[in-house]
Structure 1
Amino acid sequence: MTALTFGEASAQLCARVRLDARAVRRVPHRTGAPVRRDSIEAGTFEHLFFAPPAAGEPDRWLRACRRALDAGRRLRREARAGTRTLSARERPIAALTGAAVRVFEELCTLARLHRGRVFPSYDWLAEATALGRATVARALVLLEAAGFLVRQRRFTRIEGAGEGPRYRQTSNAYRALLPAAVLGYLPRWMRPAPLPVDQLDHHQAQADAQAAMLAGLSSRDRARATVDGALGKVLAALGAAVDRACESQDHPQPLMDSIHTGTKELA
């Protein structure tokens, strides 16, 4: 038998634990393929997530992304030369690549052709752009960090043997945007026109009126007006209980003041 030191024995034990963990990970998930974090079931939110773009809007998004790529290259040159320190808003722009712009071009094309409903798979984007799958995945991360893209993971239910529902991951949902961080790098003719002052005043008056309306509601009605779904029902029930507790308080005099007054009378 070969004698092992304590360090060698510990190293072998750690290696065996890692092998056992890999073997455990290869065991099929009891409800099908595992679903990634922050995923939402497909078909339950797309009507709120997708929005049809206006005429010519995808082309403006793409031109802005190309301009941002050029601006990012200038920022990188200045940072390498030591004449500029990149801020938190400039670093994502400086990280953009030509592959990211190419992927964004395909997403803008899909948004124009399908009225904003964009949910291609990584493999489809890799084939359409002639890029590797890993390059496509990195491009999506860069676009999302720069603000050009919002993506939502999705899963679907599948039929399976045994009890309980089965799920599997499906393609992400994407929505292209024009981030405010890149507006300063765009020429004046590419920037969106500011809203008129009277329209801004109208929006502010509406916000003030809504805030005043919510302030005058009961706890139950305020919960119903601000939160939807199951959470709204739960908050409405809690608000109703709070309203009943407030209504049962007949005398508005604080308890401490009442005790203090009673003590004076006894004295």
Structure 2
Amino acid sequence: MQTVFEALGGAVGRRPGRETGQRVHRYSKTAAGREGRFWQPFNPKDVARFLQAAEKYDRLKRLAHRRERNGRENGAIGHVGMEVLRELLRLIDYKTGRLDPAIATLAQRIGRSIAAVADALKRLKEHGFLDWLRRYVPTGNAGLRGPQVKQTSNAYRLMLPAEVLRGMTAPPPQDDSQGVGSG
């Protein structure tokens, strides 16, 4: 006996280029070991420099945010973002640059919620300290449209933003921006 799905010829109107009908995040890549090009070796001597640059960036952005947002305390990265960054620097394989912890693992290790860690990762990416590659793995099960897949942990890469590499400067004091002292 044939199912209605089989009688209609499978997936009518299926998007081209998609391997299966499984729900995976858009732009996910297969976790087949090709991340080696994405990851780059990370010098352990750069950990302190990386953290100092992130803390300086956060502190300077916090000053600008306070002026714009009436005393808002959190900086661009935030304290949870700094905790996530420190944990990522502990987990990275310095030799290969491999960094692929699950968000739940990060949340458990730093004692924060999954939502807080996900938001911190987004802020780190938004400000140029982190990039990631969404990945999926085959499950080994055959489906009607092809092999089934499931989402797996992202592959992360630590970076320093161009603004940090150029050298950041503190925003001018409020008095200077108002033109006080012209005469």
Match of 2:175 in 1: none
2:80 is equivalent to residue 99 of structure 1? yes
Match of 2:148 in 1: 166
Q: Distance in 1 between matches of 2:109 and 2:121?
A: 14
One-letter amino acid matched to 1:106: E
Runs of 4+ in 1 over 4 A off after TM superposition: none
2:130 is equivalent to residue 126 of structure 1? no
Q: Distance in 2 between matches of 1:34 and 1:80?
A: 39
Instruction: Say which of 23, 40, 58 aligns to 1:34.
Output: 23
2:118 is equivalent to residue 154 of structure 1? no
2:46 is equivalent to residue 57 of structure 1? yes
SS in 1 for 2:27: coil
Match of 2:168 in 1: 185
What TM-score results when the alignment is normalised by the length of structure 2? 0.72
Q: Distance in 1 between matches of 2:94 and 2:125?
A: 22
Structure 2, unmatched stretches of 5+, are: 1-19, 171-183
One-letter amino acid matched to 2:119: R
Deviation at 1:81, TM superposition (A): 5.5
Q: Distance in 2 between matches of 1:76 and 1:148?
A: 19
Residue pair 2:42, 2:95 contacting (<8 A) in 1 also = no
Aligned residues between the structures: 147
The CA deviation string for residues 131-180 of structure 1, in whole angstroms up to 9 with x for no partner, is 10000000000000000001010000111144521111000000001111
The CA deviation string for residues 211-256 of structure 1, in whole angstroms up to 9 with x for no partner, is xxxxxxxxxxxxxxxxxxxxxxxxxxxxxxxxxxxxxxxxxxxxxx
Where relative contact order (Cα < 8 A, 6+ residues apart) is larger, the structure is 2
Structure 1, unmatched stretches of 5+, are: 1-30, 83-92, 188-267
One-letter amino acid matched to 2:38: F
Match of 1:47 in 2: 36
2:51 is equivalent to residue 70 of structure 1? no
What TM-score results when the alignment is normalised by the length of structure 1? 0.50
- Of Structure 1 and Structure 2, the greater helix share is in 1
SS in 2 for 1:52: coil
Residue pair 1:52, 1:111 contacting (<8 A) in 2 also = no
Q: Distance in 2 between matches of 1:59 and 1:186?
A: 20
Residue pair 1:103, 1:125 contacting (<8 A) in 2 also = yes
List aligned pairs for 1:80-91, cutoff 5 A: 80=69
- Of Structure 1 and Structure 2, the greater strand share is in 2
Change (3 A) 1:59 1:40: same
Match of 2:7 in 1: none
Residue pair 1:126, 1:133 contacting (<8 A) in 2 also = yes
Residue pair 2:92, 2:98 contacting (<8 A) in 1 also = yes
Deviation at 1:115, TM superposition (A): 3.8
Match of 2:176 in 1: none
The CA deviation string for residues 196-224 of structure 1, in whole angstroms up to 9 with x for no partner, is xxxxxxxxxxxxxxxxxxxxxxxxxxxxx
Q: Distance in 2 between matches of 1:100 and 1:41?
A: 27
Give me the identity figure in percent. Answer: 37
Moved more, 174-183 or 158-167: 158-167
Residue pair 1:64, 1:186 contacting (<8 A) in 2 also = no
Residue pair 2:137, 2:152 contacting (<8 A) in 1 also = yes
Q: Distance in 1 between matches of 2:58 and 2:86?
A: 13
List aligned pairs for 1:159-238, cutoff 5 A: 159-163=140-144, 164-183=146-165, 184-185=167-168
